Structure 1
């Protein structure tokens, strides 16, 4: 007869042992263990073995407390490895069960507060409109009629099935209110339709008036622009022959004036380099508009003085004329 060998399993840990064997390792100090690694409930004393990290009963509480012989795995499992270093190891109980229980209760809320919570994104909700922005929905006779028909299908009083103790049929205030509202809207519908048509006609009339006013306003704006353009053309025609509307010196077109113009420009350049006025020119430049004078033409040019229509103007007076009318010295 062939027998099948039985797989060894870890035995169940006994709470009380009758062995006198004592492990010669240093005892386990209860006060040095964490609060969640020891339980001193009377009759159910347990702690976590420091060697194999399994919960092990404590025996000999009335005499010499020590850990019972145990395996490293759970009971009735295929891990029959005996914990040789932690079995029968003495235990020093230097704390009281009540104090340990109080410390455990006080530490539970602290541990719960340290536990990370799941961050839930807040839904984006549109802000509610203000009272002044809420527009009431317009009621129509057709909407009230559909609501009244739906109410009749669901209401027992409207069907005649709801009766009181005396056998009398109960009235339905909601159905009566819907019926009165439907009749009122049906009676007022022609007047409401006339009002809607009147406002539609007025809106179309206002749109036509706005379109006409816009075209008239646009024509007046173009007329104002044409006036400014005509003024600019007239001012441009007032320039002497040969001048151009730019910040540059005048350029005569006649052949006999070219030589005189070149001589005049050369003379102005020589005197300007020396800081002296040109021959035939005033000693100090004077504004033709406000009468302001400057020390010499070099300082006047640096201060923004310009010639406008062959007349000297200071920087403030020359700024009133367009750029194409101002020329440098």
Structure 2
């Protein structure tokens, strides 16, 4: 029986619709599967709306993020080789990529968890990272920003794991009364943290702040690491590091929640144009304007809102730091790839944000 042209188009329409539905379901499955494999790998999105997130961003006090680095707590750079290149070689190694180390300073003595943490302190890469920390640190040169959110400079899992192993080495040195060595390794951790925090990418800066906070916490617990300083200053350093880490983490969450709604694009661009916040924060605002549609179901199905491009174009008229302008240039160059292309980028985003 020969089908009429009308029936052919109807059946074909159902076929295309079914295919798209299957692709969307597959995308949701992939996203859930990544979270199942790496529970807690990304922060749980708050229940407040994007509009409320934008208001919170406007009122967030970022003054604690300015002028935090203290050279007395870090190693003085020596030589000309880029220490960041040496560290990246460790972090990108196949054996390190899946390494997981828990910061076990507060675990009970003799517990299995604490012993596992201390065992990581004997790892071969600790000495390599201490050597990297003694060199000048230029992460932006070793891992240039491509402007693509799907090409991360560093992944958090290996960086956190190796930093925690270095802190375990500090504890091992303290237990063996090698106080000078313990102090050197601790300074190396702080040096690496400072190098990450100086990066113009907020995800990298937040990672560095988290490591600095853990180092300050370990130091505050052991008087041998105070270097003759008053306990009040040591505790103040910990409080400052803790506050900075929390603010950066909250900034990331608020920015991406606010970026979901295209109606927030103009407001986010206004915040990005403000020269007072750190460059990493302003650059992140450009990224969420450009890529917020990845978490907006309406734009995923109907297309990327024109409001995002318009907000970015207005921002282009301002005088911006080089890193921010590079991110803006990449955002403006991106074109809506169509429904299938949007789906592919959503899957890529889910995979790249997993540790």
The answer to whether TM tops 0.5 is no
User: Normalising TM by the smaller chain, what interval?
Assistant: under 0.3
- More helix per residue: 2
